[in-house]
Structure formats: C-alpha cells, structure tokens
Amino acid sequence: MLHPRVGTGVWIRKESKILLGFRTWKHAPNTWAPPGGKLEMYEEPAECARRETKEETGLDIENIRFMTITNDVYEDVGQHYITLHFAADWKRGEARLVEPEKFSEWRWFDWGSFPEPLLLSTRNFIKTGYNPINF
C-alpha cells in the first residue's frame, strides 16, 4: 500500500446486542469484527456500510448513522486503513455465511462482552468510548 485505504465497520443493533463475525480471511484471520469492508470509488460511505453488510451477512439494515473514525495501522503486514464506523439497526433477515471464505460464523453479543481476539479496527473503535447501543 502506498496510501491508506478507507473501510467501514458496521455496528448492527438487534435487541440490545451487536453482531460480530469470526474472520477467516487472509487479512487479520482468527479475529472477531463487525461487518464492513472497503469503500468503492464514488460510493457513499453509508451505502458501503449497507452493501458490505448485505454481502457478508445477508442482513438488511436501516437507520445507518456515522459515529466516528479510527486510524488502523497494521505494521506487520504493511497495511493502513481509515475506518468509518457506523451504527445501524437490524431490519430483517438472519445472519448467515454468505462469504464463507471470509467468515466462519456470525454471533450476537452484549456490548462489552466480546470474544477475543478482536480485529485492530474493532479494538480501536471500542477505545473511542462510543457505544452503538446508545447512539
């Protein structure tokens, strides 16, 4: 990477729980993270959040709202992302493995009761103090 990329993290709320997936993808495997991914050229960030959620989980979301950004430097693999974090409400569907090459499972967790290890951007978001349940 010559320049940082822009990604999204989507903190989906359903019955006061947050959806996280266990990553098996080559970038940061064996970590937990919310749905999200890279912003495409000319794409609106909130639409990226909606698209990535649908592509990765099959879920429909609504009330997508920007919360904050994190600066996520993966020095060990020479990658750098600016991650735009969004809160969103579950609208319909059951989380499923739409991309089994990237995730091995999706589970709903109470805020603050997350499994380890967490993806760097997920850890950095939690450190900001934002809580998508109350946002």
Does pLDDT of 26 surpass 90?
no
What range does the domain containing 52 cover? 5-134
Q: What is the pLDDT of residues 82-122, one digit of tens each?
A: 999 999 999 999 999 999 999 999 999 999 999 999 999 99
Q: What is the pLDDT of residues 34-74, one digit of tens each?
A: 999 999 999 999 999 999 999 999 999 999 999 999 999 99
Predicted structure pTM score: 0.96
In a 13 Å sphere around the CA of 85, the CA atoms on its Cβ side amount to 22
Report the CATH number that the domain containing residue 29 is assigned in CATH: 3.90.79.10
Q: Please tell me the total count of domains within the chain.
A: 1
Distances (CA, A) of 28 to 53, 72, 75, 95, 117: 18, 12, 12, 21, 10
Q: Say if residues 6 and 38 touch (Cβ distance below 8 Å).
A: yes
Look at the block and give the residue holding tokens 């609208």.
Answer: 91
Q: Say if residues 97 and 105 touch (Cβ distance below 8 Å).
A: yes
- Report the SS3 class of residue 120: helix
What local confidence, expressed as pLDDT, does residue 27 receive? 84
